[in-house]
């Protein structure tokens, strides 16, 4: 399956279990793979046969900077559900949400979750 990737999108959000995370906020990075058939778009050079990257970014931004969630697992799930329901040509997606400044005592570069979701029964 062909795919489109949006890498290292950066957002500022208030997700987390700790009160200071919800109050002060922090950076989040999101990587997305969109799985769809790109052959028709490649042959026609017509955006109607692909997915508009700017629209995908706007959907992700709305979620990342919107409703506060306790877990980045829930944030990733929200992004996947939104994209799968919003883009008809999309068959599946992989969502990676990275928290580079996770409040963990010790030295760590980042914490992330990565999920893969696909449309059920062609929906």
Just list the catalytic residues.
99
Do 1 and 35 contact (CB within 8 A), yes or no? Answer: yes
Instruction: Give which of 52, 114, 63 is closest to 87, Cα–Cα.
Output: 52
| Spatial separation of the C-alpha atoms in residues 50 and 109, rounded to whole Å | 35
| Spatial separation of the C-alpha atoms in residues 16 and 3, rounded to whole Å | 30
**CA-derived radius of gyration, the chain:** 16
Write the burial class of residue 66 (CB in 10 Å: 0-12 exposed, 13-18 middle, 19+ buried).
Answer: middle
């Amino acid at each position: 399956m062909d795919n489109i990737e949006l890498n290292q999108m950066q957002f500022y959000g208030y997700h987390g279990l700790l009160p200071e995370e919800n109050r002060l906020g922090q950076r989040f990075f999101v990587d997305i793979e969109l799985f769809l058939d790109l052959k028709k778009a490649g042959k026609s050079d017509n955006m109607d046969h692909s997915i508009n990257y700017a629209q995908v970014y706007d959907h992700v931004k709305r979620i990342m900077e919107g409703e506060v969630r306790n877990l980045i697992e829930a944030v990733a799930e929200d992004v996947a559900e939104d994209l799968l329901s919003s883009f008809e040509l999309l068959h599946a997606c992989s969502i990676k949400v990275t928290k580079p400044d996770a409040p963990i005592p010790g030295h760590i570069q980042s914490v992330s979750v990565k999920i893969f979701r696909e449309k059920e029964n062609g929906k």
